[in-house]
Amino acid sequence: MEVERVQAIAILSKFMDTIPAEFIRSETEQPAITTVRGKVLEVPVIDLLRDEEEVVAAVAAAGAEWGLFQVVNHGIPEEVIGNLQRVGKEFFELPQEEKEVYAKPKEGKSMEGYGTKLQKEVEGKKGWVDHLFHKVWPPSAINYQFWPKNPPSYREANEAYTEKLRAVADKLFKWLSLGLGLDGHEVKAAVGGDDLEYMMKINYYPPCPRPDLALGVVAHTDMSTLTLLVPNEVPGLQVFKDDRWYDVKYIPNALIVHIGDQIEILSNGKYKAVLHRSTVSKDTTRMSWPVFLEPPPEHELGPIPKLIGDKNPPKYKTKKYKDYVYRKLNKLPQ
């Protein structure tokens, strides 16, 4: 195996009090030093069964102040979420050689597939996580070679979840649009409309002997439009608020919504992309299932024209989504 998976390193590290040097973060990043202790951040929780006007106001306020909120009564049955989580967990528990069948192609720029490294990191550092990426919508964008055949119900569970998730996403785009004083359809149209691509990612964070020194995923904002995420019950999401890192309170069966870079751009900065990271646990495996709502690669995004004028000039350049992604992954200025 050419690439060493974190899952394999975790097994070897289990009986030690050390981790390989490339996983030890600098002191400015180490969770033990940089996390506010004894306080769990209670980010906005929005009940989607409330009156729509109240939901619009709550979504707009959370998007502007936090860039992150949790939604409950979202209409995705517990059973559907449970099945998604079960098949993802079963995939990562397969023998290593079975998982490697789905490894990302060595050549090519596809994000899809099973892998470990994601973006360039300073000083060659690594996150304590393995992952699986594959598109789940629209049908024309799906490449089933990256969908595990085992467990056998993997495809069915992902399709059932995606169908329910799309309905939630459409409502969120509508509410974000209304929150900007636009017509309900305008934000979704600005990010690609029905050509919007849904990219599923499963994050697998195995137990880590030194969770005080390592991070699962480093501090970042998501480059897509929205991220809709369900975690397992092991806490690990942290948000940067008021110049400090805080743990986010876990709420069973809530959907966590992240505002991504493209929503910040098209809102001309009214909505903020949330800076977040993930920590790891000493004794238990953490997993999460984010779905990134990505514009088509050739789609151009910039501030929505109706939102800019003499008093509110554009704060961001308009560019194709693929160019934005390339620059972000390679740490080039936008």
Task: State yes or no: is 299 an active-site residue.
Answer: no
CA-wise closest residue to 287 among 216, 204, 201: 204
CA–CA dist 297, 16 (Å, integer): 44
* 159 three-class SS: helix
Closest CA to 14 of 285, 287, 286, 232: 285
Active site residue 74: no
Active site residue 201: yes
Q: Please confirm, yes or no, whether 328 is among the known catalytic residues.
A: no
Q: Are 238 and 246 in contact (CB under 8 A)?
A: yes
CA 40 vs CA 238, 249, 250, 274, 279: distances in Å: 9, 6, 9, 17, 14
CA quadruple 104, 221, 253, 246: dihedral sign: positive
CA 154 – CA 105 distance, rounded (Å)? 21
Rounded CA gap, 156 and 154, in Å?
Answer: 6
Q: Which of 131, 135, 201, 258 is catalytic?
A: 201
Burial of 288 (0-12, 13-18, 19+ CB in 10 A): buried
Residue from 220, 319, 320, 322 carrying the catalytic annotation: 220
Task: Kindly name the residue from 74, 135, 222, 299 that is annotated as catalytic.
Answer: 222
Three-class HEC string of 87-112: HHHHHHCCCHHHHHCCECCCCCCCCC
Tell me which H or E stretch contains 13.
helix 6-13
Taking CA atoms, 37 is separated from 43, 230, 231, 281, in Å, by: 16, 24, 21, 15
Can you tell me which residue has the tokens 């693929």? Answer: 322
Catalytic residue among 99, 174, 270, 276: 276
- Residues annotated as catalytic are 201, 220, 222, 276
